Amino acid sequence: MKQLVLLLLIIGIGLSSCEGRKTQNQALSESIEEFKKTVNFETNIYIPETYIEQEVDTLMSNGFRVKIKTYSDLSNAVRFSKIKDTINYQMHYRNFKFDISISKDDKEIYNENFDKQKINKVFKYNANLVSGSDLYNFNTLAVLKSINVNDDPSYKNMVLIDIMYAIPESDKYAIHRLYIDNNGKSNVVQTEVK
């Protein structure tokens, strides 16, 4: 009987001393989770980091001289956010401005400056497009990816310039071709959209 009373006493002490305390690992895990919820680190990343300027001067086989100057617009960028662990990465993809100057027989026939607002008008990127359409959000999210002189020999009295805009961190892009004739008149045609 003494043994039974002693056993019940030990079990009673054991049960009364158990307060539902957490192990050190459980307490540390919960503390880390609470820290992640309350602390927020933010990192701003700019692409490109600084001002970039590039000039291309091309003398084409059909006698046209094409000058294209592209430069980063430091006051206009598209922002994407990614949260990884406790860090909020703010990715700022800068838009680019570009100038196109074309001359034929030492006479300037075309000279235009383009920024994001002008491209939205020329390429018909606008906010009225239906979600799911090919150019949806291109007015706000697309940035210049490339601009190239197309030296197609079949166009003897014309300059062709291919301009590609894409939405960063996606596979969406649109390619437009700018046609400029020997009188300086221009026309834009969308050639590819994905």
∠ at Cα 114 (60, 111), nearest 5°?
45
Computed on alpha carbons and rounded to an integer, the radius of gyration of the chain in Å comes to: 31
Q: CATH assignment of 36-193?
A: 2.40.128.510
Q: What is the DSSP letter of 21?
A: P
Amino acid identity for residue 94 in this structure: R
Residue 100 burial (C-beta neighbours within 10 Å; 0-12, 13-18, 19+): buried
Amino acid identity for residue 4 in this structure: L
Report the pLDDT value the prediction gives residue 28, as an integer from 0 to 100: 80
Report the pLDDT value the prediction gives residue 89, as an integer from 0 to 100: 87
Q: What is the pLDDT of residues 45-65, one digit of tens each?
A: 999 999 999 999 999 988 899
The tokens describing 141, both together, are: 């999210």
Report the pLDDT value the prediction gives residue 16, as an integer from 0 to 100: 64
Q: What is the pLDDT of residues 157-169, one digit of tens each?
A: 999 999 999 999 9
Q: What is the pLDDT of residues 13-32, one digit of tens each?
A: 666 665 666 777 887 888 77
Report the pLDDT value the prediction gives residue 129, as an integer from 0 to 100: 78
pTM above 0.85, yes or no: no
Report the pLDDT value the prediction gives residue 27, as an integer from 0 to 100: 78
Report the pLDDT value the prediction gives residue 20, as an integer from 0 to 100: 61
Structural domain boundaries of the chain? 36-193
The tokens describing 136, both together, are: 């949806």
Positions of E strands within 105-142: 107-114
Cβ-contact 174, 123 below 8 angstroms: yes
Residue 92 burial (C-beta neighbours within 10 Å; 0-12, 13-18, 19+): middle
Per-residue pLDDT of the chain (194 residues; tens, 9 = 90+): 667 766 676 776 666 665 666 777 887 888 777 776 666 678 899 999 999 999 999 999 888 999 999 999 999 999 998 888 777 889 999 999 999 999 998 899 999 999 999 999 999 888 887 787 788 888 999 999 999 999 888 888 999 999 999 999 999 999 999 999 999 999 999 888 88
Report the pLDDT value the prediction gives residue 133, as an integer from 0 to 100: 79
Residues whose CB is less than 8 angstroms from the CB of residue 161 and which lie 6 or more positions away in sequence, other chains included: 66, 68, 100, 147, 148, 149, 150, 177, 178, 180
Amino acid identity for residue 183 in this structure: N
Residue with tokens 């490109």: 48
